[in-house]
Amino acid sequence: MFTQAKNYLQQYFGYESFRTGQEEIIKRVLSGQNTAGIMPTGGGKSICYQIPALILPGITLVISPLISLMKDQVDALWQVGIPATFLNSTLSAQEVRQRLSDLQYGEYKILYIAPERMDSPQFMEQLQSLPVSLVAVDEAHCISQWGHDFRPSYLRIHSLLEQFPKKPAVIALTATATPQVREDICFLLDIPAESAIVTGFERTNLSFKMVKGQNRLEYLKQYVMRNKNEAGIIYAATRKEVDHLYEYLQKQGIQTGRYHAGMSDHERSAQQDLFLQDDITVMVATNAFGMGIDKSNVRYVIHYQLPKNMESYYQEAGRAGRDGLDSECILLFTAQDIQVQRYLIEQSHHEARKNQELQKLNQMKDYCYTEGCLQAFILQYFGEEHPTPCGRCSNCADDRVSVDVTREAQMVLSCMIRMGERFGKTIISQVLTGSSNKKVLDMRFHELSTYGILKQKSAKDVMDFIDFLTSEQYIGITGGQYPVLYVANKGKEVLLGKEHVMRKEQIEVIQVAANDELFERLRELRKEIASEENVPPFVIFSDQTLRDMCVKLPQTAEVLLNVKGVGLQKQQRYGERFTSLIHAYVQEHPDLDPPTEIKVPKQKERKEASHLVTYELYKQGYSLQEIAKERDLSLITIENHILQCGSEGLEVIWEKIIVPQYEAAIEEVIAQIGSERLKPIKEQLSDEVSYFMIKAVIVRNELRKKQYM
């Protein structure tokens, strides 16, 4: 069976080999064992249940907490040729009934449901009659009360499994499991500890950066401008801050979106769609944004403020680079944020949680101050032992030059002491730069010896410098809402001349992805197709696939199959448009180096052989069900083989596939709405009309057209 899994990986998804973990997980699932897969975001969890779904008989039921994701997931599966559907609260009762009945008839291989569905006894009963052979639990950490997203409905999964006449196997998947959460998952879903497969959590395409003691707004602006063709998410802590950054970036002429809980549902989903469709590149948002999106080509995630714990941080930052291309995760740190977060936690009334949250905040703070590898720090946090330095993060790859700023630091610190250590950075910097602001004069600060000693600098520069001293812990902060600065112990050493203050050059913004003319053109074509198909562009092809096209320059459909992420169905549907664009580009650029090795895809041959094997049996009079059983393939695969044979001109008895009484109705719907997409056609016809029947009519019509020509 495993050879078949590999064939499907190539045929449906266009990938040559499994990634770490995938193979072992799939093998276990196929042998009927309950299995857990713990892999980082972008590690490729979905394929771990999607491929078994194709191989196992019946249906794979996927429990997924993110309703907004379901449609995209289902669309993406249709794109690669896997029939899938979902049931959630966005559907009417009538639609639910329809889908359930299609499921009974084997129209779909994968069914997504929201966990809350399981709270309805009636729905549980309806499920009982479905031939479910695998239950996939996505975001499985939601089952644990120790996790950060506990969903009580997940606790019903156990009884769901019990109620099927034949108990299905389980596969639990998550990216965020601390050891405790992992234990919960295994315990609650009957997964033996040795079947919990944990792959490394390292995201080798992400570079983590800590930007400290620098003007955040300025950094942000430069970064976004420098990367204006790339998609990015900027997380801010409050709605007010989101609005502020949103307006600021818009004013700079950047196409920006925003997302927070203060907007209406309608506004939010409109903004989200613009982002998914690549109509805007930058999204400024609170942490309310992202749970429901799976956009794979996010090139950077910037945290404008400190997140409250490492779990949230890694999850939010991890939305960058799901497609495996180099991406950046930047935290713009100011020490004051820690203070604000601490204040908010202390205000909460939940005593038990308070301590836990303060402890998590402290670990977040340690992350900000660590001088070691940032990625390694994160891995250690999630329980990985002895992670090695990544070599990419801002601590590993820091070659900035330091400048001695001890004298200026002493000026600031002694001014603070003279002012009584009772003020915030604004007024301190006003005194240092000699401002004649009313408050300064009222407090008689102009009589201090440190008044105006930094007057050659702007108040803003001095404030940035104070932020720097705070971020390096020379200055401490107390007070919640109105922070007050004081000279910390490390700062006292500076005043005594025992410690030097070194300041590094500012971290420069870099361009995360190379600009490339062909890539831009491919991106445009992808966008065009995506709007025709009404799906987000990354569902058509990932950025990684487009980059691979730029390298391999495929000019024929055959060679296109060698490109990462191009499976058979996408090759057939879009191949022509991409290869002719590339062909035209290569013609315009005769100096381009052709790729050195052009492999002829092996899969293509195998695939041909496979449908011909099916055809042999078909000719001998076996039914399609029998062939499926005999060949250990799914019925859908066999049906597709027959259609392929038909379209290649081999004799197929259409009357046996297309039930005569429905033929006219199918023809009529196709004449009205075209045959680009099957789902809308199916929706207009009676339940008895299967997808196979519809596809058969389309193939037969094509054949007839050819014969008349």
| By CB under 6 A, residue 205 contacts ligand ADP | no
| By CB under 6 A, residue 323 contacts ligand ADP | yes
Q: Which of 2, 15, 150, 486 binds ligand ADP (CB under 6 A)?
A: 15
Q: 368-373 long-range contacts, Cβ below 8 Å, gap at least 24?
A: 368/210, 368/212, 368/306, 368/331, 368/333, 368/338, 368/471, 369/473, 370/395, 371/395
| By CB under 6 A, residue 221 contacts ligand ADP | no
CA angle 558, 564, 566 (to 5 degrees): 55
Asked if residue 316 lies in contact with residue 41, where contact means CB atoms within 8 angstroms, the answer is: no
Q: Which of 19, 27, 504, 573 binds ligand ADP (CB under 6 A)?
A: 19
| By CB under 6 A, residue 342 contacts ligand ADP | no
Shortest distance, CB of residue 483 to Zn ion, whole angstroms? Answer: 31
- Residue 542 or 640: the one with the smaller Cβ distance to ligand ADP is 542
The one segment of 15-23, 63-71, 504-512, 694-702 that binds ligand ADP by CB under 6 A: 15-23
Shortest distance, CB of residue 161 to ligand ADP, whole angstroms? Answer: 22
Q: How many residues bind ligand ADP (CB under 6 A)?
A: 17
Best CA proximity match to 426, nearest among 456, 452, 458, 463: 463
Shortest distance, CB of residue 365 to Zn ion, whole angstroms? Answer: 19
DSSP one-letter string for 239-282: HHHHHHHHHHHHHTT--EEEE-TTS-HHHHHHHHHHHHTTS-SE
CA angle 158, 162, 168 (to 5 degrees): 90
Shortest distance, CB of residue 542 to ligand ADP, whole angstroms? Answer: 5
Shortest distance, CB of residue 393 to Zn ion, whole angstroms? Answer: 3
| By CB under 6 A, residue 562 contacts ligand ADP | no
Q: How many angstroms separate the CA atoms of 555 and 57, rounded?
A: 38
What is the DSSP secondary structure assignment for residue 325, as one 8-state letter? S
Going from the C-alpha of 16 to that of each of 13, 481, 566, the distances in angstroms are 9, 55, 10
| By CB under 6 A, residue 601 contacts ligand ADP | no
Q: How many angstroms separate the CA atoms of 235 and 284, rounded?
A: 6
- In the complex, the residues that contact Zn ion under the rule CB under 5 A are 373, 375, 389-390, 393, 396
Shortest distance, CB of residue 469 to ligand ADP, whole angstroms? Answer: 40
| By CB under 6 A, residue 204 contacts ligand ADP | no
Q: Which of 141, 268, 308, 322 binds ligand ADP (CB under 6 A)?
A: 322
Shortest distance, CB of residue 19 to ligand ADP, whole angstroms? Answer: 4
Q: Which of 7, 8, 10, 18 binds ligand ADP (CB under 6 A)?
A: 18
Asked if residue 631 lies in contact with residue 613, where contact means CB atoms within 8 angstroms, the answer is: yes
Element (H, E) at 310: helix 310-317
- Residue 323 or 408: the one with the smaller Cβ distance to ligand ADP is 323
DSSP one-letter string for 652-688: --HHHHS-HHHHHHHHHHHHHH-SS-HHHHHHTS-TT
- Residue the block writes with tokens 């009659």: 129
Choose the one of Zn ion, ligand ADP, none that binds residue 393, judging by a C-beta under 5 to 8 angstroms depending on kind: Zn ion
The one segment of 40-48, 109-117, 458-466, 518-526 that binds ligand ADP by CB under 6 A: 40-48
| By CB under 6 A, residue 365 contacts ligand ADP | no
| By CB under 6 A, residue 47 contacts ligand ADP | yes
Asked if residue 679 lies in contact with residue 706, where contact means CB atoms within 8 angstroms, the answer is: no
The one segment of 34-42, 361-369, 375-383, 659-667 that binds ligand ADP by CB under 6 A: 34-42
- Pick left, alpha or beta for residue 120 (phi over 0 → left; psi -120 to 50 → alpha; otherwise beta): beta
Best CA proximity match to 174, nearest among 286, 10, 30, 311: 311
At position 144, the amino acid (one-letter code) is: S
Shortest distance, CB of residue 87 to ligand ADP, whole angstroms? Answer: 21
The one segment of 37-45, 102-110, 451-459, 594-602 that binds ligand ADP by CB under 6 A: 37-45
Q: Which residue has its beta carbon closest to ligand ADP?
A: 44
- Contacts with ligand ADP in 167-186 (CB under 6 A)? none
Element (H, E) at 231: strand 231-235
Q: Which of 271, 296, 297, 634 binds ligand ADP (CB under 6 A)?
A: 296
| By CB under 6 A, residue 638 contacts ligand ADP | no
Q: Which of 21, 43, 83, 646 binds ligand ADP (CB under 6 A)?
A: 43
Choose the one of ligand ADP, Zn ion, none that binds residue 396, judging by a C-beta under 5 to 8 angstroms depending on kind: Zn ion
The helix/strand/coil state of 36 is strand
Q: How many CB atoms lie within 10 A of CB 617?
A: 18
- Tokens standing for 400? 């900035």
| By CB under 6 A, residue 10 contacts ligand ADP | no
Binding residues for ligand ADP, rule: CB under 6 A, are: 13, 15, 18-19, 22, 39, 41-47, 296, 322-323, 542
